[in-house]
Amino acid sequence: MSQHPSLRGTSALGAKRNVLKRFERVELLKKRGQWKPGDRVIGLRKTKGEA
């Protein structure tokens, strides 16, 4: 019997995620110059990941 694809390990999941974690969004905004220390991390602006 084969294993369902959703139960495979994370190494098998090589797909690119389309949702960024909060720390990833802050990093991206820092690179773009749209976030500075002292700004709130709650309610961040929408971002698209790097292509």
Domain assignments of the chain as residue spans, ordered by start: 18-51
pLDDT at 48 over 70: yes
The pTM for the full model equals 0.60
Summarised one tens digit per residue, pLDDT across range 4-41 is 888 876 665 567 778 888 999 999 999 999 888 888 88
User: In whole angstroms, what is the distance from residue 27 CA to residue 46 CA?
Assistant: 13
**Residues 6+ away with beta carbon under 8 Å from 23:** none
pLDDT at 31: 92
Task: Give the count of alpha carbons within 13 A of 38, CB side only.
Answer: 1
Q: Is the pLDDT of residue 1 over 60?
A: yes
Cβ neighbours for 18, distance < 8 A, ≥ 6 positions apart:
49
- pLDDT interval class at 3 (50, 70, 90): confident
3-state secondary structure of 28: helix
